[in-house]
Structure 1
Amino acid sequence: MTVTTMTPSRDTRVTPLGANLIDDVRAVVARGVSPERTVELVTEALRTYVTRPGLLTDEQTAGSADHYTQHVLHAEPDGSFSVVALVWLPGQRTPVHDHVSWCVTGVRQGSEQERRYALVPQGEKSRLVVTEEVTNPRGSVCGFAPPGDIHEVRNSGSDTAISVHVYGADVTRLGSSVRRVYEHPGAARA
Structure 2
Amino acid sequence: MLTPAMREFVADLERMHSADLDPEARAEQAARRLGELLRNENVLDARHMEPDPKAYRQHLVHVDPEGRFSVVALVWLPGQETPVHSHVCWCVVGVLRGREHEVRYHFDAEAGVLTETGAEWNDPGEVCWLVPPDEDIHKVRNCGDALAVSIHVYGANIAERGTSINRVYDEPVRAHA
Common fold: TM-score over 0.5: yes
Structure 2 residue 138 is matched with structure 1 residue 157? no
Choose which of 176, 180, 184 in structure 1 pairs with 2:167: 180
TM-score norm. by structure 1 comes to 0.89
Gap change, CA 1:130 and 1:37, over 3 Å in 2 = same
Q: CA deviation at 1:99?
A: 0.2
Residue 120 of structure 2: aligned partner = 134
Gaps in structure 2 of 5+ consecutive residues: none
- Report if the CA contact (8 A) 1:91-1:154 is conserved: yes
* C-alpha separation in 2, matches of 1:153 and 1:143: 13
Structure 2 residue 85 is matched with structure 1 residue 97? yes
Q: What count of residue pairs does the alignment treat as equivalent?
A: 176
- Report if the CA contact (8 A) 2:86-2:137 is conserved: yes
- Give the root-mean-square deviation of aligned CA atoms: 1.2
Choose which of 58, 67, 76 in structure 2 pairs with 1:88: 76
Q: CA deviation at 1:64?
A: 1.0
Residue 4 of structure 1: aligned partner = none
* C-alpha separation in 1, matches of 2:36 and 2:169: 33
Residue 32 of structure 2: aligned partner = 44
Choose which of 42, 47, 51 in structure 2 pairs with 1:59: 47
Residues 124-163 of structure 1: CA distance to partner in whole angstroms, max 9, x if unpaired? x431100001111111011121112100011011111000
Moved over 6 A (4+): none
Q: Greater shift after overlay, 173-182 or 25-34?
A: 25-34
Residue 77 of structure 1: aligned partner = 65
Q: CA deviation at 1:188?
A: 2.6
- Report if the CA contact (8 A) 1:116-1:151 is conserved: yes
Residues 32-53 of structure 1: CA distance to partner in whole angstroms, max 9, x if unpaired? 2000000110011111112403
* C-alpha separation in 2, matches of 1:153 and 1:61: 17
Residue 28 of structure 1: aligned partner = 16
TM-score norm. by structure 2 comes to 0.95
Gap change, CA 1:83 and 1:94, over 3 Å in 2 = same
